[in-house]
Chain A
Amino acid sequence: MKRREFLHALSAGAGLVIPLGRNAWAATGDNPNGRKLIVIMLRGAVDGMNVVAPVGDPNYARLRPRIALARPGADGGALDLDGYFGLHPALMPLMPLWQLKKLAFVHASGSPDATRSHFDAQDYMESATPGVKSTPDGWMNRLVANLPAAATPTRALSIGPTMPRILAGRAAAVNIANGAAGTRATPLDRPAVSAAFEQLYAHDARFGTAYQQGRDAHREVMAAASGKMGGDAMASEMLAANGGAPLPNGFPDDAARLASLMRNDPNIQLAFVALGGWDTHANQGAAKGQLANRLQPLAQGLAVLAQRLGALFDDTTIVVMSEFGRTARENGNGGTDHGHGNVMWVLGGEVAGGRVLGDWQGVGDQQLHEGRDLPVTTDFRTVLAAIAERHLRLGDRQLAQVFPALPARPGKLDLLRA
């Protein structure tokens, strides 16, 4: 099977007739920048087995006597997904999306590389070249250059103080600070100051480009934040309305801001946010505790994002991923150590959701990778490539640029409705 045929099968399901209509494969007349991708990376390896927990597997509770989630219905129990898997109760804000079938999970997914180093594994997930450290750029940066239609300075946006590896590369990408500072005026907005620094940086071989990109992006983001982009008027009203009411700190706050920016600035097509604090080696808790305290604002932020994107959510796919999973067994300290397979979360208007996808083999002792971890049965690149092709409409040649050496025979995965 050729790659294109395979990916058709992957996203539509073999033998399924591709539906006509707005989301049809060959649809034309769409704004080429209108299809959005947001990637949320959980740095530190989130414990996927307690995010989407195999509560129906008798071995699950045995592997995790102190941290296993209780079955649905019990006090602090998991939220039933399909009679076998249960969602962590702190992720309650996502249940409406699950019920609307706009949220899917791909379990036992991850990188084929065996490393249990956070830093190497994150690097591979961001370069999309597992096992190859010399790849100079990140896959989202390659995506910027390979999407249909010309790129603009803000096509790819990261929220955070540094440029992540995933967006590193030759194509322009911008970052804004977390929190309100990201859309606040700076001294460079004063004409005399910007004129002076413009001269200093205009011809600088090393920093000139970064300087200019920063200025362009800042102007555009400021315009979007103040609703002057002629995009979605509703969003700026909403932003103004939020001026009085404090938003919750952290990710929900950034998610709300991101949604407003994307609605106001049609040029923003790709966005990235990284969240830390998932490396739960000790006392991670079960329904409550350390992991729950991290998951709660994440779920809240994703729900805010989906809600505030409004109609744009239909044209958006959101992926949540983490560098590897954690040990199937809890360790001696009520925590989990570095593992292998994990769960990827996929949300969006075109997601064929309400299902836990992937090749799940159970958590019996015989099924575990090296006797300790979830195996990886779905390569993370398969999931990303399906989204890139079906949702972002990448052609074969472009897809090969973004995801070189895609695995030859990954399993079938009906991830998207289109």
Chain B
Amino acid sequence: MRTLIPIAFAAIALAGPACAAQLTPEQQAAHVLNRLAYGPRPGDIARVAQMGVQRYIDQQLAAAEPLPPELAARLDSLSAAKQPAGDSLRAFLAVRAAAKNNGEEGKEQRKEVLTAMTLQTAEARIARAVDSPNQLQEVMTDFWFNHFNVFVGKGLDRALVASYERDAIRPYALGNFRDLLGATAHHPAMLYYLDNWLSTADGYTPRSRREAAGAKGKSSGLNENYARELMELHTLGVDGGYTQQDVTELARMLTGWTYDNRDLALHDAGFRFDPARHDRGDKLWLGHAVKADGQREGEYALDVLAMHPATAHHISYQLAQYFVQDQPPPALVARMAQSYLASKGDIRSVLRTLFSSPEFMAPEAVGAKFKTPYQYVISAARAGNLPLADTRKTLGILSRLGMPLYGCQTPDGYKNTQDAWLNPDALNRRIAFATQVGQYVDAQSLQATLGGSLSPRTLGVVADSAPPLRAAMLLGSPDFMQH
């Protein structure tokens, strides 16, 4: 796959002059900061314009900038976000038992532990999103988290979501799609969320008393939840050409993919393939005759799905929708899908194709996306130099704007289109947030930070307004709703 990179560079070289002719260097810098990053911080636009947009893109794709010491220290202090999944689960199970057995005191204890877990996990995510110099990695972490969404409110996932993002998503966010797919498929947070940990061959009976205890022990038979979403959402897409029969057969291939709460809590042992739970019959899936082969059947399925042309198209479409516009240009999606298949699912290669395309740098793409609530809040924090010190408040804002962090209940994750987020109440609520935080922001430096992304009309209205309102007006302006 490495051999293909020079071709990608050649494409950049061809596309470069064409886009330079249409946007000024400052506009280009603002555009890449709005899309590859969560918007500009003070001085960013000038800095990127000076270093060159292409160099910035390369730097973001490499994602190798050291973290600033303050951010590193802050992350280091967030033990609940750092600890292994097993430690979190052990703490979770302990306070769950306490809440059951120790009355009010136990409930109080549970609340305390779970609140700390939630706040620290969220603080780590938000601090990186605001302050990490590797912005694209943070953007892609959020993108893939939504793509492979799990819901923090579903039982044990409260304890597992930190590890899921840290161990299964972030390391692969700019890597190979098959690795990312595999990491999510094996992680207990996903096994639990979409119920595959419970799924067994028909007629399975547990072998020991320990196995027979709990929800897992009581289960015997197929659960098709994960198999369906694996094809519909994670890989092929809903129109990817599979049938109900394919869902059932894939679910059979994935029986035995499980984990054990006790082993995870005591020994930090995550994924386990349990041959006793596995359906040992042959399968016919997507036209492939699959011989009984234990865990290899599921790995084979992930191989096939990762390299399927429908997956290449689906992933490319979603990336182009996220980074370019809500209705992405079909020709661009097709080129990205080619790049996906040629690079065997290398996410960097697909993104290079995207970022070097004339469609990405086209004037009509600039500001075309309506910010999601998350993008809105993070970009305000960056541009306005807001510390977002009180994570509880930040989470409250995200909830009020309709996008609680880790709080999407359904496996499709949050959408990123204007249709999904623009509504009369949303603007009211964003403006309310802008008004509240605006009092802590210096309007003049905010205006300088946002540079050319503010329209002359907005600048005129703001200049004519009372000074104490100006920062709120900039953050609540139509210009800042979009990116």
Tell me the A residues contacting B by CB distance below 8 Å: 43-44, 115-120, 160-163, 168, 174-177, 181, 186-188, 192-193, 196-197, 199-201, 203-204, 206-207, 210-211, 213-215, 217-218, 276-277, 279, 281-283, 331-335, 337-338, 370
Contact = CB atoms under 8 A, between A and B. Distances in A.
A207 B466 CA distance: 23
B293 to A, nearest CB: 21
B303 interface: no
Contact of A331 (B222, B422, B429): B222
B432 interface: yes
B401 interface: yes
A334 B223 CA distance: 10
A211 B424 contact: yes
A119 B400 CA distance: 23
Contact of B465 (A119, A188, A196): A196
Given A187-B432, A193-B469, A210-B427, A200 B478 contact: yes
19 contacts: A44-B409, A115-B238, A116-B244, A117-B228, A161-B425, A187-B432, A188-B432, A193-B469, A197-B476, A200-B477, A210-B426, A211-B424, A213-B424, A217-B424, A279-B410, A333-B198, A333-B215, A334-B218, A334-B219
A86 B199 CA distance: 30
A43 B402 CA distance: 16
A333 B432 contact: no
Nearest to B462: A200
A43 B408 CA distance: 13
A117 B432 contact: no
Contacts of A218: 425, 428
B221 interface: yes
A210 B198 CA distance: 46
B62 interface: no
Contacts of A281: 194-195, 223, 225
Contacts of A175: 423-425
Contacts of B225: 279, 281-282, 337
Given A161-B400, A282-B198, A188 B428 contact: yes
B436 to A, nearest CB: 7
Given A44-B410, A118-B410, A370-B244, A188 B198 contact: no
B159 to A, nearest CB: 18
B361 interface: no
Given A162-B402, A214-B428, A43 B473 contact: no
Nearest to B218: A334
Nearest to A283: B215
Given A120-B238, A176-B425, A332-B220, A276 B410 contact: yes
B249 interface: no
Contacts of A120: 238
Interface residues of B, number: 59
Contacts of A213: 424
Nearest to B408: A276
B410 A162 contact: no
A337 B223 contact: yes
B260 interface: no
Nearest to B419: A168
Interface string B432-445: 10011000000000
Contacts of B219: 282, 332-334
Main secondary structure of the interface of A (DSSP, over half): loop
B198 A200 contact: no
Interface in B279-322: none
Given A161-B402, A187-B435, A337-B225, A197 B473 contact: yes
A186 B482 contact: no
B458 interface: yes
A283 B428 CA distance: 41
Nearest to B255: A332
Contacts of B410: 43-44, 118-119, 276, 279
5 smallest beta-carbon distances between A and B, as pairs: A332-B221, A161-B402, A214-B424, A163-B423, A187-B435
Contacts, number: 159
Q: Which residue, A120, A197, A279, A332, has most C-beta atoms of chain B within 10 A? A: A332
Contact of B481 (A199, A207, A215, A370): A207
Contacts of A370: 244
Main secondary structure of the interface of B (DSSP, over half): helix
A147 B312 CA distance: 45
B428 A332 contact: no
Given A196-B469, A332-B202, A119 B412 contact: yes
Interface in B212-254: 215, 218-225, 228, 232, 238, 244, 247
B105 to A, nearest CB: 24
A132 B405 CA distance: 32
B162 interface: no
B461 A204 contact: no
Interface in B176-213: 194-195, 198-200, 202, 204
Given A174-B424, A175-B424, A279-B225, 16 more contacts: A115-B238, A117-B232, A118-B412, A175-B425, A177-B400, A186-B429, A186-B431, A197-B473, A213-B424, A214-B427, A282-B219, A331-B223, A332-B198, A333-B215, A337-B225, A338-B224
A167 to B, nearest CB: 9
Nearest to B465: A196
Contacts of A197: 431, 473, 476
A195 B285 CA distance: 62
Contacts of B419: 168
A336 to B, nearest CB: 10
A171 to B, nearest CB: 12
A350 B419 CA distance: 35
A204 B400 CA distance: 24
A131 B215 CA distance: 37
A276 B408 CA distance: 10
Nearest to A120: B238
A222 to B, nearest CB: 11
Nearest to B418: A206
Contacts of A277: 409
B389 interface: no
A283 B215 CA distance: 7
Interface in B8-43: none
Contacts of B466: 192, 196
Contacts of A283: 215
Nearest to B225: A281
